[in-house]
Structure 1
């Protein structure tokens, strides 16, 4: 048997935690050292691995935490790869394969084959809540052989499962810190203002980050002011501007003087695997300007 590691992905993020998949080849070979040709069938079974009673779904665990990643292993026909035990998936069967007699007095005859196994993360099983780390499940599969001179007598799924030919392999995936904006802010429209002071508007930013991963959010007006002080401009040739200040829910200036490790004048939090909402306030100290339509664009930076 040729087995090893089926690595679903080294970059599991909030975007692919419920959809990442990979295919791997499980290869086998058989040798006939006798003088008689015949037929052989190969059956391959896999149980729940580290969690033997969990088959649909199976789970990968991380040594550093108690989180799990739910996944499935399927055969080329799309059915869950398991054992012939009722309710535990379907065992792979090669069907009858002709194997010639050895070709010389001291020689041997070989046949080989492979089965494509697909390992896929399963949606709606809490995978998005997994914290960063490498998750694994190690399997001790079972190989059953049946040999006969007639092809009709080689069904290796008949009778008891042979536990004397185990083979091992590991399925793994690595969750990394990641973030994405999952709720785009709506525009703040102050509508009609005339010679007003201390005008306030607000919107919200929705961010989804890997569970437990720290992140910071920075805001930059179009004038590139790192302290969140922007200017709304009118239409040419009007040169008037309306100054404004971006603020967080705590009433502090919200800018972009920050890093992934330091909050600076941004907003910081730890991811939860689900959307987290952050309110942005815009304060206009004064709007004593010519009548016009004034606007500005703010860039959002998420650091993690």
Structure 2
């Protein structure tokens, strides 16, 4: 009989079993960022432009700027946000929020190089930074959803102050982007209780912008008065008269101007005639002059914006300037009456 003996060999077996872990939706906390701008989309540099300033509006021109801001929550949790936006005095004097000014390029801060202006919040309060004489803009409490953006805006009023009439021609700016001249502060929380951007440290985020204006040459006639020759005898000849304040003009400081005078007969040489009243057909000839005497310099109307012609030339100071007008009449031998004429003043600049 044959017996077969089988040899058993054993080896370990590794059985892999799936490990099941309980899972759910991961939830990110509230995650908010904010940015701002002035007269532009939040996050980019803007410009507030007064436009053209002349001697007539240098002390009272006004404009507005729109302050914009946006906050984005990239988290899956809704909550609340509060935004504060502030600006100081700008690049020339960052502490002067009540005395902000634009300046022409170059050195010096004399009145010929500066334009004073204010920036105020609705209601007239000076727009400022913390610790200055004024208030920063405060959005108040805003709700912000999960994975969403909230936006807002506010109008800032800008006005020229007094003392600008001596400013000379050129472009004036104040840059609120160079340095720490603006500040964006925000606070965000899932809980609205006590949430206020005005608490804690002022933020370090910036929103650069520039305020600018351009002074262009201008002139206005601010006053006129008559040259009255008074009653004259018919026998009088070579009559002279004048008015030291016949013409008052206000022109841009440093700007040249040329004044021409035109009688009603459109004479370019200032040789006019005065008419009587009613049916009186007599005409009394007269001559306009810029200097005294029967042979004073003729004052006519050939001046242009670049040449004096037979007019009078001068330079503006930003203040009123008067010009004397002289008149000569060869003879008064005419029918008794009140004679007069209207002279047109042309100020070329």
Fold conserved between structures, TM > 0.5 = yes
Match of 2:149 in 1: 110
Verify: 1:83 aligned to 2:123, yes or no: no
Deviation readout 1:171-212 (Å, 9 max, x if unpaired)? 111111100111212352422432201211112211100001
Match of 1:212 in 2: 254
Query: For 1:239 and 1:64, how far apart are their aligned partners in 2?
Result: 63
Q: TM-score, structure 2 length as denominator?
A: 0.81
Match of 1:105 in 2: none
Verify: 1:184 aligned to 2:224, yes or no: yes
Match of 2:53 in 1: 12
C-alpha contact 2:95 2:132 (8 A) present in aligned 1:
no
Greater CA radius of gyration, 1 or 2? 2
Q: 1:219 to 1:64 in 2, by over 3 A?
A: farther
Match of 1:130 in 2: 167
C-alpha contact 2:234 2:331 (8 A) present in aligned 1:
no
Query: For 1:64 and 1:134, how far apart are their aligned partners in 2?
Result: 11
Match of 1:239 in 2: 281
Partner SS state of residue 151, structure 1 = coil
C-alpha contact 1:220 1:298 (8 A) present in aligned 2:
yes
Question: Which structure is higher in strand share?
Answer: 1
Match of 1:41 in 2: 82
RMSD of aligned alpha carbons: 1.5
Verify: 1:249 aligned to 2:291, yes or no: yes
Query: For 1:34 and 1:128, how far apart are their aligned partners in 2?
Result: 54
Deviation at 1:152, TM superposition (A): 2.9
Match of 2:37 in 1: 2
Q: Pairwise mapping of residues 125-274 of structure 1 onto structure 2 (< 5 A)? A: 126-140=163-177, 141-163=182-204, 165-203=205-243, 204-235=246-277, 237-249=279-291, 251-274=296-319
Verify: 1:30 aligned to 2:71, yes or no: yes
Deviation at 1:69, TM superposition (A): 0.3
Q: TM-score, structure 1 length as denominator?
A: 0.92
Query: For 1:96 and 1:37, how far apart are their aligned partners in 2?
Result: 13
Verify: 1:301 aligned to 2:341, yes or no: no
C-alpha contact 1:71 1:122 (8 A) present in aligned 2:
yes
Query: For 1:208 and 1:138, how far apart are their aligned partners in 2?
Result: 30
For structure 1, the 5+ residue unaligned runs are: 102-107
Deviation at 1:64, TM superposition (A): 5.9
Deviation at 1:38, TM superposition (A): 1.0
| 4+ residue segments displaced more than 6 Å | none
Which of 311, 317, 325 is residue 280 of structure 1 equivalent to? 325
Q: Greater relative contact order (Cα 8 A, min sep 6): structure 1 or 2?
A: 1
For structure 2, the 5+ residue unaligned runs are: 1-35, 39-45
Match of 1:104 in 2: none
Query: For 1:14 and 1:269, how far apart are their aligned partners in 2?
Result: 16
C-alpha contact 2:251 2:316 (8 A) present in aligned 1:
yes
Partner SS state of residue 24, structure 1 = strand
Match of 1:291 in 2: 336
C-alpha contact 2:97 2:127 (8 A) present in aligned 1:
no
Segment drifting more, 147-156 vs 177-186:
147-156
Deviation readout 1:229-267 (Å, 9 max, x if unpaired)? 111122354332211111113631100011111101100
